[in-house]
Amino acid sequence: MPSRGRLWQLADTALIATLLFVTACLENRDLPSAIKVPESRPQSAFRIRPEEAAFAALATQSPSSAGFYLDSVGRVTIIVRDIADDEAAQSFVVGLVRTGQIRDSRVREHQIGITRGQYTFHQLAHWRDVVFDNFLGSTPGVFYLDLTERINRVTIGLESDHSTTLRASLPGRLQRLGVDTGAVVFVILDSEDARGPREKRHTTTPAVVALPPSSISHPTYWSDLVGGIYMEGDSESCTLGAVVDQFGSVPGLITVSHCSSDFFGTDGSPAFQPYEGNRQVGQETHDPSGWPCGVLGVNECRRSDASFYSLLPGASSERGLIARTQGAAGPGSGDGSTDIDQARPFFMIIAVDDNDALTGQIVNKMGAYSGWTRGEITGTCVDISTVGFPDTRTVECLYESDMYVRPGDSGGPVFSYYGNDPFSAGDFVTLVGIVKSRTTWLGQFWRSQFSKWGRVIQDLGPMAATRISTLGQPLLSGTMPFLYPVLSWAAVPGATRYHVYRGNTLVATTTGTIIADGQMNVLEYSGATPPSGYGGVEYAIYAANASEASLKSNSVWYRAASGTFSVSITGPSVVGPNNFACSTWVAYVTGAATIVSYAWSGFFTSSEAVVQGTIPQTGAEFQLVVIDSQNRQGGAMKQVTYDANNQDYCEQ
């Protein structure tokens, strides 16, 4: 049998001679329904990965485009090579924003920018696939691969021990396979799965404490299992990702496959929480093998690094909860808190990822060792190989971020705040995935990788991870006493607070049952029916307490004004015996187009620009709303008091 080195040589020679492309890892499956695979280009040219379907669809409208990302302030930036394709690219991405396929409260459709790229998405995707099929995990030292939108290049990660040799040899080998080496960037990385050593074993079982305990880290005992807490597999310490019901009825927990004895293989490994006293809570029952990929199919590929553990009888758990600690650390800040926030001890999962994230979007994670950290997504489809030939395990299309992780955080839940606002700090979250690994770039900074929840589902089967509702569903109603919406509802038994959403953006958390959204300028209230035309604004609320969430309330709708302008009311603010019956108040408007209507309400009602009347000794309050021909709206309020000592007379 040839030596391992001879196997490399034979495989490489065969590939160069025949341009063998193994297609066992084909990713044309389960594309989002709103985005179609382009049919104008042969499928053999490159493989559409679901996470990049929007980039491929953009390329059908703007052929020289190469994807898009969010910049540091949340503006969408599109990479386009040819100026002639700019308009089509912007029009396509505006459509994604308007239809909710790009969801981030920082995004404004009128602020979508263009940056020049040297290469198209078609080119980069094809060259990335060539590297995947011929080198990733098959050539010693080549273990990381990404189509990096921000720099318009294919990034190949090299282990430091092999970097000198590979940087000399790979360019020529890539050129022989048709890759433009100007489109390739080599980086020196060190990678490790984010699992930790098993902690020191004790012979006694800790006392059971009330939920929630004080910490998510070792060796805190949790009588009820939730996401984000310390756990141990057969040989490693990890973090519990989520408590789920597999196939709707089998209770269990999710963590990483590499926390068990057999990476990509069901081996019945036990799960402990904590390990002291042999407190076993689960057993691995589903950790599927991968499929052949790479050179001659010798690698083993999967969509995620994830495993399902069935809960043992007597193991108590709470589906849909993630332990919440006292504060998050941002990029470059090291560890976040591992101590539980006793006032708000849990995040509640009310949604799982149903949209592909973009570079620049914000994610959070909870890990048993580094606690709560957050950061930006820096890569949307990173392939990483581990172990090494001939037993290579490759996980496709991981997300990468600059949030900090440490060994022992593997499996920890990755989440975003529910809705569009990445910094809302609410109780409700969307489960995005679970932590897999971290890499060190040239020894200077960290990047962490996580498996997308949608890919975990593809590997492990349908799983319910959201919180089961126990609180009553609120009944929401609305009014519009002035320019802004006013919302009200009846108190829900058991609820201690209410989360108010405008569309998918959290606008308030309140303990009361009425709230005004003074940040929104609306033209009309349309009740349960969305208004016709552009400008519909939807409101809904959730009831919540420390660990429970209601179903979403009914929705109520308003029609938003397209803008505003300045309105003031001139006339006396104090009247007396000489002018209480003859004073005049006049609307003064600046910055408006043609005025369509004046609407006085309160003490005076009129549709003219001027009102005059008698003010009672109790005083009076009135409002004015003005609408112009561009559906912009402005308003003002006036409070008039009566003073018997006022000596003013009516103007003649």
State residue 285's pLDDT score. 95
**How many CB atoms lie under 10 A from the CB of residue 197?**
11
Q: What is the pLDDT of residues 165-218, one digit of tens each?
A: 999 999 999 999 999 999 999 999 876 664 445 554 434 444 444 457 889 987
Would you state the pLDDT for residue 387? Answer: 62
Q: Is the pLDDT of residue 12 over 70?
A: no
The closest of 254, 282, 295 to 390, measured between CA atoms, is 295
Segment among 217-221, 250-254, 591-595 with least mean pLDDT: 217-221
**Which range scores top for mean pLDDT: 10-24, 116-130, 189-203?**
116-130
Distance CA(54)–CA(78), nearest Å, equals: 12
Q: Is 172 helix (H, G, I), strand (E, B) or coil?
A: helix
- Joined together, the tokens standing for residue 24 give 């066992």
Burial of 99 (0-12, 13-18, 19+ CB in 10 A): exposed
Alpha-carbon span 272 to 278, nearest angstrom = 7
- Per cent of the chain over pLDDT 90 is 65
DSSP conformation class of 630 = T
Answer with the residue of higher pLDDT: 517 or 221. Answer: 517
Q: 299 vs 2, which has greater pLDDT?
A: 299
pLDDT higher than threshold 90 for residue 399: yes
**What local confidence, expressed as pLDDT, does residue 442 receive?**
65
Please report which confidence band the pLDDT of residue 164 belongs to, taking 50, 70 and 90 as the band edges.
Answer: very high
Torsions phi, psi of 409, nearest 5? -85, -10
Q: What is the mean pLDDT of residues 447-469?
A: 93
Residue 131 to residue 137: CA distance in whole angstroms: 10
Least confident of 18-27, 408-417, 528-537: 18-27
Closest by CA to 183, choosing from 131, 123, 129, is: 123
- Using a 10 angstrom Cβ sphere, with 0-12 exposed, 13-18 middle and 19 or more buried, the burial of residue 523 is buried
Q: What is the pLDDT at residue 212?
A: 74
User: What are 478-491's pLDDT values in tens digits?
Assistant: 999 899 999 999 99
Q: What pLDDT is recorded for position 388?
A: 61
- Please tell me the CATH superfamily of domain 566-642, with its number: Immunoglobulins (2.60.40.10)
* 23 pLDDT higher than 90: no
Q: In what order do the strands lie in the sheet with 463-464?
A: 196-197, 236-239, 230-232, 270-272, 280-286, 307-311, 250-255, 242-246, 463-464
Name every residue whose Cβ is closer than 8 Å to that of residue 9 and which is 6 or more positions away in sequence: none
Give yes or no for residue 44 having a pLDDT over 50. no
Question: What is the arithmetic mean of pLDDT over 80-106?
Answer: 91
The architecture that CATH gives domain 476-560 is: Sandwich (2.60)
The per-residue pLDDT for 192 is: 66
Q: What is the pTM of this model?
A: 0.83
The answer to whether 476-560 and 566-642 have equal CATH topology is yes
Residue 444, pLDDT score:
64
How many CA atoms, within 13 angstroms, populate the side-chain half-sphere of residue 144?
Answer: 28
Q: 535-572: per-residue pLDDT in tens?
A: 899 999 999 998 999 999 999 999 999 999 999 999 99
- Per the CB < 8 A criterion, the answer to whether 246 and 460 are in contact is yes
* pLDDT tens per residue across span 567-597: 999 999 999 998 888 889 999 999 999 999 9
Rounded average pLDDT over 50-74: 94
| Polymer length in residues for the chain | 652
Alpha carbon distance 426, 237 (integer Å)? 30
DSSP state of 244: E
User: pLDDT band at residue 648, thresholds of 50, 70 and 90?
Assistant: confident
Domain ranges of the chain: 4-191, 476-560, 566-642
Of the given ranges (83-87, 207-211, 527-531, 595-599), which has the lowest mean pLDDT?
Answer: 207-211
Average pLDDT over residues 76-83: 97
